[in-house]
Structure 1
Amino acid sequence: MSKNSPDADVTFIAALAELLNKNDLTEIAVKREYGEKDSLDVKVVKKPPQVIQAAPVSYAPAPVAAAAPAAAPAAAAPAAVALPEDPAQHPGAVTSPMVGTVYLAAEPGATPFVTVGSQVAEGQTVLIIEAMKTMNHIPAPRAGTVKRILASDGQAVEYGAPLMIVE
């Protein structure tokens, strides 16, 4: 780790992640020299998006004499094929402000900061992201209930990745 400000390094890494997304790249590797024996090696990698395929939907053929009931299964087809919404676009999404490793508790074996169904206050710590050996407390952006936890303990996350949903 460099002798320079960790905040400046975190800002630099966040800028690299933004550059990665803006230019539709999959990987960036940079060596930042601070002096003769002081440098920062950074590699930012974007995972390919997961493709979710809907299972094929089949319906039993409707009897020829009953034309009206045949319309009901056809109306239900769009709902059955609809893909789940992107959690990052959810209005209550808590997203990662940096690249790092997620920790759901203050230390191994400790009680998690929150669980599904927990009530949280705005600004309350909901998890920690370790970046460059610095533990960054991530606050709830608003008061509400934790509906989903999308990251697992010890998982590596990218800048902007959805971590949990608070409604």
Structure 2
Amino acid sequence: MSNSPTHESDVTFIRALAELLRENDLTELSVKREFGEDDSLQVTVSRQAPVAAPAPAPAAPQPAAAPAPAQGTAAASAAPAEAADDPASHPGAVTSPMVGTAYLQAEPGAPPFVSVGATVQEGDTVLIIEAMKTMNQIPAPRSGTVKRLLVEDGTPVEYGAPLMIIE
């Protein structure tokens, strides 16, 4: 019966994690708690992401809106049609391998790793994702031309979120 209070506190802890997951619109959360040398609890709470993927959708129109004044009204009228397509299902989509913050340049004031129209080779660093104070270089999964940037510098990203399109 000594296990019962621990079990109840574990259930309470897991419920709190599930609530954090829901409140912050996350798809997965993993935690390991150490209670002693031979006693620990490792929990992964996850949920299926909505089919429409609401988090990346607002990021897609923003990069398209920035170059619109320079490119004219034709680009502005084409942007809503592109935003209607799900970038995650595009065959050239580069998706996030982790949850974190995306950075398009190595440090503030430095030139971006890539820009729309840039040619990249497989393995080239296309951006950095900071996760748990660690800067993770994200390589291009294929050679090609960057067609769209779907995130802005310093924006949070989730696992599997589309970052850019390389064709």
Aligned twin of 2:118: 118
1:153 CA drift (Å): 0.4
* 2:135 alignment partner in structure 1: 135
Aligned position for 2:162: 162
Return the offset for 1:26. 5.7
The C-alpha deviation readout for 1:99-144, integer Å capped at 9, x for no partner, is 0000000001100000000000001000000011111100111111
Distance across 2 between alignment mates of 1:142 and 1:134: 24
In the TM superposition, what is the alpha-carbon distance from 1:32 to its structure 2 partner? Answer: 1.5
Query: Given the superposition, is the C-alpha separation of residues 120 and 28 from structure 1 closer, same or farther in structure 2, using an over 3 Å criterion?
Result: closer
In the aligned structure 1, how far is the partner of 2:141 from the partner of 2:121? 9
Shift of 1:42: 8.9
Structure 2 CA distance for aligned equivalents of residues 98 and 81 of structure 1: 28
Contact (CA 8 Å) 2:26, 2:158: kept in 1 or not? Answer: no
Compare CA radii of gyration and give the structure with the larger one: 1
Alpha-carbon shift at residue 163 of structure 1 (Å): 0.2
Provide the identity percentage: 58
In the alignment, is residue 49 of structure 1 matched against residue 54 of structure 2? yes
Structure 2 counterpart of 1:110, which letter? A
Higher helix share: 2
What amino acid does structure 2 have at the position aligned with 1:105? Q
Question: Where do residues 4-153 of structure 1 align in structure 2 (5 Å cutoff)?
Answer: 31-34=31-34, 49=54, 84-153=84-153
Q: Distance in 2 between matches of 1:81 and 1:126?
A: 26
Cα distance in 2, alignment partners of residues 126 and 102 from structure 1: 10
Structure 1 Cα separation of the partners of residues 155 and 143 of structure 2: 25
1:145 counterpart SS class? strand
| CA root-mean-square deviation | 3.7
Gaps of 5+ in 2: 1-20, 59-79
Q: Which runs of 5+ in 1 are unaligned?
A: 1-19, 53-79
Deviation at 1:41, TM superposition (A): 10
Structure 2 counterpart of 1:132, one-letter code: M
Q: Name the count of aligned residue pairs.
A: 117
Q: Tell me, what secondary structure is at the counterpart of 1:165?
A: strand
**The residue matched to 2:84 in structure 1 has which SS?**
coil
Contact 2:95–2:163 (Cα < 8 Å) also in 1: yes
* Paired residue type of 2:89: Q
TM-score (norm 1): 0.57
CA contact (8 A) 2:27 2:158 kept: no
